[in-house]
Amino acid sequence: MEPRRPDPDALLATVPSEKRGRLKLYLGMAAGVGKTYAMLSDAREAKKRGDEVVIGYLEPHDRPDTIAQAEGLEVISPKLIEHKGVRLAELNVEAVIEAGSAICLVDELAHSNAPGSRHAKRWQDIEDLLDAGIEVWTTVNIQHIESLRDIIAQVTGVFVQETVPDSFIERADEIELVDIPPEALQQRLREGKIYAPEKIEQALSQFFGKGNLLALRELALRHTAERVDEELLKSRRTQLAVEPWHARERILVCVAPNSMARRIVRASRRLATSLKADFLAVSVSSPRQSPSEQGKLELEAAMTLAEQLGAKTATLAGGDVVGELIRFAQSENVTTIVMGKPIKPRWREYLFGSVVDHTVRASGDIDVLVVTGKPEKAEVRPAKNQGKWDWRGSAEALLWVAAASWLGVLVETDVQPANVIMLYLIGVVAVSLRYDRFSSMVCALGSVLAYNFYFTEPRYTLHVYDFRDLITFGVMLAVSLILSSLTARLKEQNRALSERERNTGALYSLSQALAATRSKTEMARSAVGAIRTLTGADAAVLRVDSSGSIKVLEESELGFEKDAKESAVGEWVIEHGKPAGATTNTLAGSAGWYLPLRGAGKTFGAIAVKVENAADWRIDKRHLVEAIANQLTTAIERAQFAKESHQATLKAESEQLRSDLLSSVSHDLRTPLASITGSASVLEIQPELTSQSRELAATIREESNRLERLVRNLLDMTRIQGKVELKLDWYALDEVVESAVSRTADLFDQPVQVESPSEPIMVKVDGLLIEQVLVNLLENASRHAGRHTGVTIRLSQAKGFALIEFEDQGPGISPDRQPHVFDRFESSGAVGSGLGLAIAKAAVEAHGGTLDLIPSAVGAQFEIRIPLGEEVDDE
């Protein structure tokens, strides 16, 4: 076994997610202990503290104290749903989210919603609220916790229907136990504070009997205590990094297709909770045992329950049930395997051995726990009229019997009676190969009767004289029955095998089809086709387009887009990334089953499957569609990544091309510019020139200077955008500033003021770049504030960096332009290329510094911070 490592998911689970709201539970042993009252008085307190609290839903009990407590709290009016002429009030999730309050109170966590609601259960509604970031306070009684169902049933004799999964309860951030002594509760009941007077006596004698209450109270107290323990462990887990993991138990429940399955799952879950163990559930299907229809349903119900209870589930397949089970347990580091006590008759155990025995022998260092329990009342029943009686089978059986009899009569004189029996057996095999069990039994019985009739004394009667003939009949019947059952099993195995083959083949060809294309529509078409082939159902692939509305990417005669209600379900699924629709507990009333295509951190869309009869959609059929959804998601994700990386490459290439082009063009522009500037400057000093011509020459010189600056900026930009290699050297900052000031001296009417401390500020920078930064700022100031502006540059030194404050006296930068001043080609007018400030910022940032625009009343103010570089000892 490999060492158990800290599970990253477990670690992550201890980190409170940022967005999800808190969940606070008020837990009580029974109705009437005062949960709602306690919740409401806490809410009042919270409101006094200034928190926003709303009542999302309050059960309309007539309890005056409770109603008094609710006064003054805002109530979100419930949603009214008509069902069979009755108006039912339900929690209005949308309205609560819209109200945007911090805390929402919801009474009765275990409530089942009216048919037609979005979710089947109220706890799912609360989940939505938590996901929306709302803190929820809610009340629940101990008997509504799923894994305690059996115990509650044992104690009280009541099998609770409305339950909440343990995984939801465990996610609560806080549990408050509301407890009063049973006598006090009974007293309250007698005073009529809980139920109407006519119900009191009945309640006292049954559920509210003292024995019951004591047991329930113990359960509630114990549950809370375990929870406190868990919290302690959790805090230890975050404090001590490793230790608790060594003691981590992992419990695996082996689910068998029988009526005990769900009971065993619940028992294991309780065990797992009390041991703080991980919980896994597995079922092993073997070709040697094909469960009955009832068994299949039980198995499926149990596996679904295990999933709801937070188990990691798996279905294994293999000839050797025990071997598969042990292998899985070892690979998952399981410490305890839980199994049900065998319910087969003992003689079968002697003959075929028992899985439990084998497992105990093979388990090695894994503990095996055998759980007992009465079979549960079947909640699930196979649909009736399954496998219609096929009259042709029986007819053909009789035909075979007749044929064998006729042939037997023909050859009787030449052969032994045993050979005649063989003729009948051919018929039995032939019928059981092609028809159901009933027909083969008809054939077996018919054969025995016919043999009796035609070939035993007295002939042509069904009487038997010879006792040995009875033995012959018995053996003949037994052999026929065994033959037919073996053949039937063979047939079943073949069918299962070919179905598996078909599924594998279809999934394989789907994955090939998905890999062969990059078009999402093609992918969707393949997926829809695969769903059709595998399940026979119509399906559609939905996706969200850029405008946020849902589009059908591909569909096979679903008519999806015509139905607004169905699109709403699709939208919900894509938005929440959770499955919904028929076969699920969410929006179960819709005609389609919707599965999100959920990739890493993003839902690409959904698959919609038309569900005509939800009972047809067994877990294995659903798993097929889920597998297709997973494949499709992976393919879309892959295509997306490929597209993104292709685009990135293209972008990088075009960037490079642009910067190469720019740099070569700029180089070629400079030489002629140098000639123009030079020539104009010569022209300007020619003595014979008129003053007008001289001015023109000056204009040529100035303008080509400007052009030269633009070209220089372009070059600088391409240089900085590429990989800048800084030529770092030590400079006194005021030197650099003064150099920049003297280079731009002719841009200003009055000299630029430089204020620097007497002690030189030494910086290790690329001097030319920083000089250029200042030149660009100065040019910018001259351009926008005008030649006449006064510019002040203040130098100072703070911890680790040099600070250059730059300000002019111009009109400043309007607020709407301020966020964009450092954008490329951002310029307020026709003057300048709009590159100067962008270059300046990039150059400063290349030094690890910052260049910011400082909001000010007068003029434009910039602030440059440059790291000083490492200290050097002066020699």
Partner 1 sequence: MNDPIRVVVIEDEVAIRRFLKASFGDGEAELHEAGTGSEGLTLIARKNPHVVLLDLGLPDQDGLAVLRELRTWSNVPVIVLTARGQDTDKVAALDGGADDYLTKPFSVAELMARIRVAMRHAQTSDHSAQTAIEAGLLRLDMAGHIASIEGVELALTQIEFKLLAILAQNVDRVVTQRHLLLEVWGPAYEDSTHTLRVHMANLRNKLKAHAREGLKIQTEIGIGYRLRQ
In whole angstroms, how close is the CB of 709 to partner 1 at the nearest point? 10
Among 375, 672, 722, 848, binds partner 1 (CB under 8 A): 672
Contacts of 431 (CB under 8 A, 6+ apart): 393, 396, 397, 400, 439, 440, 442, 443, 484
Total Cβ atoms within 10 A of residue 597:
26
Candidates 26, 424, 731, 748: give the one binding partner 1 (CB under 8 A).
731
Q: Does 727 bind partner 1 (CB under 8 A)?
A: yes
CB of 685 to partner 1, least distance (A): 6
> What size, in residues, is the chain?
875
Structure tokens at 400: 């075979």
Nearest to partner 1 of 2, 759 (CB atom): 759
Q: Per rule CB under 8 A, is residue 847 in the interface with partner 1?
A: no
Answer for which of 161, 742, 750, 818 binds partner 1 (CB under 8 A) is: 742
Rounded distance, CA 565 to CA 560, Å? 10
Concatenated DSSP letters for 32-51? TSSHHHHHHHHHHHHHHHT-
Rule CB under 8 A: which of 760-789 touch partner 1? Answer: 760, 762, 767-768, 771
For 723-727, the CB contacts below 8 A with 24+ separation are: 724/769, 724/843, 724/846, 726/765, 726/766, 726/769, 726/846, 726/847, 727/766, 727/767, 727/768
Contact between 479 and partner 1 by CB under 8 A: the answer reads no
Minimal distance, residue 759 CB to partner 1, in Å: 9
Cβ closer to partner 1: 24 or 712?
712
Residue 450: partners with Cβ closer than 8 Å, 6 or more residues away: 401, 402, 404, 405, 424
> Could you say whether residue 729 binds partner 1 (CB under 8 A)?
yes
3-state secondary structure of 581: strand
Among 673, 777, 842, 843, binds partner 1 (CB under 8 A): 673
DSSP 8-class letter at 289 = B
Check binding of 875 to partner 1 (CB under 8 A). yes
Report d(CA 380, CA 370) in Å as an integer: 24
Name which of 735 and 845 has its Cβ closer to partner 1.
735
Letter for the amino acid at 252? Answer: L
Interface region with partner 1, contact rule CB under 8 A, candidates 37-45, 476-484, 618-626, 759-767: 759-767
**Least separation in angstroms between CB 673 and partner 1:** 6
Q: How far is the CB of 697 from partner 1 (least distance, A)?
A: 11
Name the minimum Å distance from CB 789 to partner 1: 24
Question: Any contact of residue 173 with partner 1 (CB under 8 A)?
Answer: no
State which residue, 609 or 673, has the beta carbon closest to partner 1: 673
Q: Report 676-695 residues binding partner 1 (CB under 8 A).
A: 676-679, 681-683, 685
HEC string of 87-137? EEEECCHHHHHHHCCCEEEECCCCCECCCCCCECEHHHHHHHHHHCCCEEE
Nearest approach in angstroms of CB 662 to partner 1 is 14
Structure tokens at 243: 């230790």
- Closest CB 671 distance from partner 1, rounded Å: 6
The smaller minimum CB distance to partner 1, of residues 505 and 672, is found at: 672
Residue 418 or 872 with smaller CB distance to partner 1? 872
758 binds partner 1 per the rule CB under 8 A = yes
Q: Per the omega criterion (within 30 degrees of 0), is the bond before 181 cis?
A: no
Are residues 581 and 594 in contact, defined by beta-carbon separation less than 8 angstroms?
yes
Q: Which is nearer to partner 1, 523 or 765 (CB)?
A: 765
Binding residue for partner 1, selected from 390, 735, 805, 863, defined by CB under 8 A: 735
853: β partners: 862
Candidates 232-240, 265-273, 434-442, 756-764; binding stretch for partner 1 (CB under 8 A): 756-764
Minimum CB–partner distance for residue 745 and partner 1 (Å)? 11
**The two three-digit tokens of residue 552, written as one number:** 């059908």
**How far separated are the first and last CA of the chain, in Å rounded?**
65
Show Cβ contacts of residue 67 under 8 Å, excluding neighbours closer than 6 positions: none
State the number of binding residues for partner 1 (CB under 8 A): 40
Binding mask 706-725 for partner 1 (x = CB under 8 A): --x---x--x----------
145 forms part of the interface with partner 1 (CB under 8 A): no
Residues 251-280 touching partner 1, rule: CB under 8 A, are none
The secondary element (H helix, E strand) that includes residue 673 is helix 619-684
738 binds partner 1 (CB under 8 A): yes
- Which of residues 392 and 667 has its CB atom nearest to partner 1 in the complex? 667
The CA-atom distances, in angstroms, between 257 and each of 286, 296, 315, 317, 369 are: 12, 6, 12, 14, 18
Spell out the alpha helix ranges (H) of 414-466: 417-434, 437-455
Sequence-distant (≥ 6) Cβ neighbours of residue 171 within 8 angstroms: 23
Interacting residues toward partner 1 by CB under 8 A: 670-679, 681-683, 685, 701, 704-705, 708, 712, 715, 727, 729-732, 734-736, 738-739, 742, 758, 760, 762, 767-768, 771, 872, 874-875
